A = this chain, B = another copy of it.
Amino acid sequence: MDSKHPGIMITPKDQSHYHHGNLREALIQTALQILAVDGVAGLTLRKVAKAAGVSHAAPAHHFKDKTALVASVAAEGFRILSKELLGVADIHQDSKEQLIRLVRTYVGFAQREVELFRLIFGPSAPDYREYPELYEAGIECWNTLVQLVITIMKDQEITNCEPDLLAFSLWAHTQGVASLIVNQAVIPPHLIPIKGAMQDKAIELLIDGIIAASRKSKKTPDGE
Protein backbone atom coordinates (compact mmCIF):
# COMPACT_ATOMS: atom_id res chain seq x y z
CA MET A 1 0.00 0.00 0.00
CA ASP A 2 2.73 2.38 0.92
CA SER A 3 4.81 1.54 -2.11
CA LYS A 4 1.91 2.20 -4.44
CA HIS A 5 2.56 5.91 -4.67
CA PRO A 6 6.32 6.10 -4.89
CA GLY A 7 6.95 9.51 -6.36
CA ILE A 8 3.74 11.06 -5.29
CA MET A 9 4.97 12.65 -2.10
CA ILE A 10 4.67 16.37 -2.35
CA THR A 11 6.85 18.04 0.23
CA PRO A 12 7.05 21.69 1.15
CA LYS A 13 9.56 23.59 -0.94
CA ASP A 14 11.00 25.21 2.11
CA GLN A 15 11.79 22.63 4.77
CA SER A 16 12.23 25.35 7.37
CA HIS A 17 8.50 25.91 7.33
CA TYR A 18 6.79 23.85 9.94
CA HIS A 19 3.70 25.25 8.44
CA HIS A 20 3.70 23.54 5.13
CA GLY A 21 3.95 26.72 3.14
CA ASN A 22 1.27 26.04 0.63
CA LEU A 23 -0.53 22.98 1.80
CA ARG A 24 -3.75 23.86 0.05
CA GLU A 25 -2.23 23.71 -3.40
CA ALA A 26 -0.12 20.70 -2.46
CA LEU A 27 -3.24 18.81 -1.40
CA ILE A 28 -4.95 19.52 -4.69
CA GLN A 29 -1.97 18.35 -6.69
CA THR A 30 -1.55 15.26 -4.54
CA ALA A 31 -5.24 14.50 -4.90
CA LEU A 32 -4.92 14.77 -8.68
CA GLN A 33 -2.18 12.16 -8.69
CA ILE A 34 -3.94 9.79 -6.34
CA LEU A 35 -7.11 10.20 -8.35
CA ALA A 36 -5.31 9.20 -11.53
CA VAL A 37 -3.97 6.05 -9.88
CA ASP A 38 -6.76 4.89 -7.62
CA GLY A 39 -9.84 6.39 -9.17
CA VAL A 40 -12.68 8.27 -7.60
CA ALA A 41 -13.44 5.51 -5.12
CA GLY A 42 -9.81 5.39 -4.02
CA LEU A 43 -9.53 9.11 -3.46
CA THR A 44 -9.40 9.41 0.29
CA LEU A 45 -8.75 12.40 2.49
CA ARG A 46 -6.45 10.41 4.71
CA LYS A 47 -4.52 9.04 1.75
CA VAL A 48 -4.08 12.51 0.34
CA ALA A 49 -2.94 13.82 3.70
CA LYS A 50 -0.44 11.03 4.15
CA ALA A 51 0.93 11.47 0.64
CA ALA A 52 1.31 15.18 1.28
CA GLY A 53 3.18 14.39 4.47
CA VAL A 54 0.71 15.84 6.93
CA SER A 55 -1.62 14.40 9.51
CA HIS A 56 -5.02 13.05 8.61
CA ALA A 57 -6.88 16.08 9.90
CA ALA A 58 -4.68 18.73 8.34
CA PRO A 59 -6.82 19.12 5.19
CA ALA A 60 -9.73 20.24 7.33
CA HIS A 61 -8.05 23.61 7.82
CA HIS A 62 -8.00 24.26 4.08
CA PHE A 63 -11.14 22.49 2.94
CA LYS A 64 -14.36 22.45 4.90
CA ASP A 65 -15.27 19.05 3.52
CA LYS A 66 -13.94 16.25 1.45
CA THR A 67 -16.40 17.57 -1.12
CA ALA A 68 -14.71 20.94 -0.98
CA LEU A 69 -11.39 19.37 -1.88
CA VAL A 70 -13.03 17.41 -4.67
CA ALA A 71 -14.56 20.65 -5.93
CA SER A 72 -11.14 22.25 -6.15
CA VAL A 73 -9.76 19.22 -7.94
CA ALA A 74 -12.65 19.32 -10.40
CA ALA A 75 -12.07 23.03 -10.97
CA GLU A 76 -8.44 22.29 -11.72
CA GLY A 77 -9.65 19.67 -14.18
CA PHE A 78 -11.83 22.21 -15.94
CA ARG A 79 -8.87 24.55 -16.25
CA ILE A 80 -6.76 21.83 -17.81
CA LEU A 81 -9.50 21.00 -20.27
CA SER A 82 -10.00 24.67 -21.13
CA LYS A 83 -6.33 25.05 -21.85
CA GLU A 84 -6.32 22.06 -24.16
CA LEU A 85 -9.39 23.29 -26.01
CA LEU A 86 -7.80 26.70 -26.44
CA GLY A 87 -4.84 24.97 -28.02
CA VAL A 88 -7.10 23.89 -30.84
CA ALA A 89 -8.04 27.46 -31.62
CA ASP A 90 -4.44 28.41 -32.15
CA ILE A 91 -4.10 26.17 -35.14
CA HIS A 92 -5.49 27.96 -38.16
CA GLN A 93 -7.02 25.68 -40.72
CA ASP A 94 -10.22 24.58 -42.34
CA SER A 95 -12.89 25.10 -39.74
CA LYS A 96 -14.53 21.75 -40.27
CA GLU A 97 -11.19 20.19 -39.59
CA GLN A 98 -10.97 22.41 -36.56
CA LEU A 99 -14.34 21.21 -35.35
CA ILE A 100 -13.24 17.62 -35.59
CA ARG A 101 -10.05 18.50 -33.81
CA LEU A 102 -12.05 20.14 -31.09
CA VAL A 103 -14.08 17.02 -30.46
CA ARG A 104 -11.01 14.83 -30.61
CA THR A 105 -9.29 16.98 -28.04
CA TYR A 106 -12.24 16.71 -25.72
CA VAL A 107 -12.52 12.95 -26.11
CA GLY A 108 -8.76 12.66 -25.89
CA PHE A 109 -8.77 14.48 -22.58
CA ALA A 110 -11.43 12.09 -21.32
CA GLN A 111 -9.38 9.09 -22.39
CA ARG A 112 -6.11 10.34 -21.04
CA GLU A 113 -7.48 11.66 -17.77
CA VAL A 114 -10.14 9.05 -17.29
CA GLU A 115 -10.60 9.45 -13.58
CA LEU A 116 -10.46 13.21 -13.65
CA PHE A 117 -13.10 13.22 -16.36
CA ARG A 118 -15.25 10.90 -14.28
CA LEU A 119 -14.81 13.15 -11.30
CA ILE A 120 -15.88 16.23 -13.21
CA PHE A 121 -18.86 14.81 -15.04
CA GLY A 122 -19.85 11.96 -12.79
CA PRO A 123 -22.09 11.63 -9.77
CA SER A 124 -19.22 12.48 -7.44
CA ALA A 125 -19.01 15.96 -8.89
CA PRO A 126 -19.91 18.53 -6.25
CA ASP A 127 -22.82 20.88 -6.79
CA TYR A 128 -21.21 23.78 -8.62
CA ARG A 129 -23.70 26.20 -7.08
CA GLU A 130 -21.98 25.74 -3.77
CA TYR A 131 -18.44 26.19 -5.03
CA PRO A 132 -17.77 29.43 -6.90
CA GLU A 133 -14.31 28.29 -7.90
CA LEU A 134 -15.76 25.24 -9.59
CA TYR A 135 -18.49 27.30 -11.22
CA GLU A 136 -16.08 29.81 -12.67
CA ALA A 137 -13.76 27.16 -14.01
CA GLY A 138 -16.71 25.36 -15.59
CA ILE A 139 -18.13 28.47 -17.19
CA GLU A 140 -14.72 29.42 -18.55
CA CYS A 141 -14.50 26.01 -20.16
CA TRP A 142 -17.95 26.42 -21.67
CA ASN A 143 -17.10 29.88 -22.94
CA THR A 144 -13.98 28.55 -24.59
CA LEU A 145 -16.10 26.02 -26.39
CA VAL A 146 -18.70 28.56 -27.48
CA GLN A 147 -16.04 30.95 -28.68
CA LEU A 148 -14.55 28.29 -30.90
CA VAL A 149 -17.95 27.30 -32.21
CA ILE A 150 -18.78 30.91 -33.06
CA THR A 151 -15.60 31.26 -35.07
CA ILE A 152 -16.33 28.08 -36.91
CA MET A 153 -19.92 29.06 -37.60
CA LYS A 154 -18.79 32.31 -39.19
CA ASP A 155 -16.39 30.38 -41.33
CA GLN A 156 -18.98 27.91 -42.49
CA GLU A 157 -21.63 30.60 -42.81
CA ILE A 158 -23.97 28.71 -40.56
CA THR A 159 -26.75 31.06 -39.55
CA ASN A 160 -29.74 28.90 -38.89
CA CYS A 161 -29.13 28.37 -35.22
CA GLU A 162 -27.68 30.23 -32.31
CA PRO A 163 -24.10 29.51 -31.26
CA ASP A 164 -25.23 28.47 -27.80
CA LEU A 165 -27.52 25.89 -29.26
CA LEU A 166 -24.96 24.51 -31.63
CA ALA A 167 -22.35 24.46 -28.91
CA PHE A 168 -24.69 22.61 -26.62
CA SER A 169 -25.50 20.06 -29.27
CA LEU A 170 -21.87 19.56 -30.09
CA TRP A 171 -21.00 19.37 -26.44
CA ALA A 172 -23.71 16.81 -25.79
CA HIS A 173 -22.53 14.63 -28.61
CA THR A 174 -18.92 14.83 -27.59
CA GLN A 175 -19.80 14.29 -23.99
CA GLY A 176 -21.79 11.22 -24.97
CA VAL A 177 -18.95 9.69 -26.95
CA ALA A 178 -16.50 10.39 -24.17
CA SER A 179 -18.85 9.15 -21.51
CA LEU A 180 -19.61 5.90 -23.29
CA ILE A 181 -15.94 5.20 -23.84
CA VAL A 182 -14.69 6.26 -20.46
CA ASN A 183 -17.38 4.59 -18.42
CA GLN A 184 -16.94 1.35 -20.32
CA ALA A 185 -20.53 1.25 -21.46
CA VAL A 186 -21.73 -2.16 -22.46
CA ILE A 187 -20.90 -2.49 -26.11
CA PRO A 188 -21.24 -5.71 -28.13
CA PRO A 189 -17.87 -7.48 -28.38
CA HIS A 190 -17.74 -7.38 -32.16
CA LEU A 191 -17.85 -3.59 -32.07
CA ILE A 192 -15.07 -3.06 -29.58
CA PRO A 193 -12.20 -3.31 -32.09
CA ILE A 194 -13.75 -0.57 -34.21
CA LYS A 195 -14.78 1.62 -31.31
CA GLY A 196 -12.25 4.25 -32.32
CA ALA A 197 -13.45 4.29 -35.89
CA MET A 198 -17.04 4.52 -34.73
CA GLN A 199 -16.19 7.47 -32.60
CA ASP A 200 -14.66 9.31 -35.56
CA LYS A 201 -17.60 8.44 -37.77
CA ALA A 202 -20.05 9.57 -35.14
CA ILE A 203 -18.38 12.92 -34.96
CA GLU A 204 -18.35 13.35 -38.71
CA LEU A 205 -21.98 12.40 -38.90
CA LEU A 206 -22.90 15.17 -36.52
CA ILE A 207 -20.76 17.81 -38.15
CA ASP A 208 -21.88 16.93 -41.64
CA GLY A 209 -25.39 17.00 -40.29
CA ILE A 210 -25.01 20.45 -38.85
CA ILE A 211 -23.56 21.83 -42.03
CA ALA A 212 -26.11 20.07 -44.19
CA ALA A 213 -28.92 21.32 -42.02
CA SER A 214 -27.55 24.82 -42.30
CA ARG A 215 -27.39 24.64 -46.10
CA LYS A 216 -30.90 23.27 -46.25
CA SER A 217 -32.32 26.01 -44.10
CA LYS A 218 -30.61 28.62 -46.20
CA LYS A 219 -32.59 27.45 -49.20
CA THR A 220 -35.83 26.97 -47.34
CA PRO A 221 -35.74 29.42 -44.46
CA ASP A 222 -37.80 28.17 -41.58
CA GLY A 223 -39.21 30.86 -39.33
CA GLU A 224 -39.56 28.71 -36.22
Contact = CB atoms under 8 A, between A and B. Distances in A.
Interface residues of A, number: 55
How many copies of this kind of chain does the complex include?
Answer: 2
A7 interface: no
A111 to B, nearest CB: 14
A172 B164 contact: no
Interface in A134-177: 134-135, 138-139, 141-143, 161, 164-166, 168-169, 171-177
Interface stretch (A16-24, A46-54, A93-101, A182-190): A182-190
Given A122-B122, A124-B123, A142-B188, A169 B212 contact: no
Residue with the highest number of chain B CB atoms closer than 10 Å, among A128, A141, A179, A199: A179
A10 interface: no
A91 interface: no
A56 B205 CA distance: 51
Given A176-B175, A176-B176, A210-B205, A184 B125 contact: yes
The secondary-structure label for the interface of chain A is helix
Contact of A177 (B176, B186, B187): B176
A210 to B, nearest CB: 6
Contact of A142 (B123, B187, B206): B187
A198 B163 CA distance: 11
A191 interface: yes
Interface in A203-221: 205-206, 208-210, 212-213, 216
A68 to B, nearest CB: 15
Contacts of A183: 121-123, 125
A121 B185 contact: yes
5 contacts: A142-B186, A142-B187, A173-B206, A205-B213, A208-B209
